[in-house]
Amino acid sequence: MAFQNRLQKFAALNAMLVGLSVDQVFSHIKWLDWIQEKLGVNIEFPVIADDRGEIAMKLGMIHPGKGNNTVRAVFLVDLQGMVRLMLYYPQEVGRNMDEILRALEALQISDSRGCAMPAGWPHNELIDDRVIVPPAGDRKSAGTRLKEYEGFDWWFCHKEL
């Protein structure tokens, strides 16, 4: 339901949601019907039944030592089919939708602008919503970086988006 409630935010970032669980199709039907009936939310993205657990096993989603209990996982996959981010949550810990959206946006900005995001971006303790400039590739550019960018030293420069 939390993903569905943010479906438009994911769509605005050009992302598609797909759910997967080791439950059987009839369990998914009942679960989706229950969410709609009891909570008034219609899940609009596909939910795949991996009832043999083959995909879940390959993705590291079967919790070791807990039988068939699955680890809750989120995978951000780019348009080339590359897994860019994996977040694993034990059943006891809920997923953080805002963090997933933040990570997706950060990856997209990093790819399009050639930069990196600091911890807690866009509210970093040191540089707020600024982004990190990639490291220098040689001694000459290392020596001129602080003339081109703001920074704490040549190896930690930052800029506005």
Give residue-wise pLDDT tens across range 107-155: 999 999 999 999 999 999 999 999 999 999 999 999 999 999 999 999 9
pTM for the structure as a whole = 0.88
Q: Return the amino acid letter for 28.
A: H
Give the per-residue pLDDT at 68.
63
Catalogue all structural domains in the chain, each as residue range(s) with its CATH number.
Answer: 2-110 (3.40.30.10), 114-159 (3.30.1020.10)
pLDDT digits (tens, 9 = 90+) for 53-112: 889 888 888 877 766 677 889 999 999 999 999 999 888 899 999 999 999 999 999 999
Q: Report the alpha-carbon distance of residue 95 to residue 116 in Å, rounded.
A: 24
Distances, alpha carbon 92 to alpha carbons 17, 71, 151, in Å: 23, 9, 40
150 CB burial (10 A radius; 0-12, 13-18, 19+): middle
